[in-house]
Amino acid sequence: MESNTVFDKDFVEQLLPQKFPFVMVDKMFSYTETEIVSGLKIQEDNIFFHNGILVESGLIEHMAQSVALHTGYEFFLKQEIAPTGYIGSIKNVEIKELPKLHDEIKTTVTILQQFAGITLVDIVTTLHDVKIAFGQMKTVLAK
In the chain, the domains with their CATH numbers are 9-141 (3.10.129.10)
Of all residues in the chain, the percent with pLDDT exceeding 70 is: 97
User: Is the backbone peptide bond immediately before 99 cis, with ω within 30 degrees of 0?
Assistant: no
How far is Cα 73 from Cα 91, in angstroms, rounded to an integer?
25
How open is the CA angle 34-21-35, to the nearest 5 degrees? 5
User: Is residue 1 scored above 70 in pLDDT?
Assistant: no
Asked whether the beta carbons of 23 and 13 are under 8 A apart, the reply is: yes
Query: What's the pLDDT tens digit per position in 53-99?
Result: 999 999 999 999 999 999 999 999 999 988 888 999 999 999 999 99
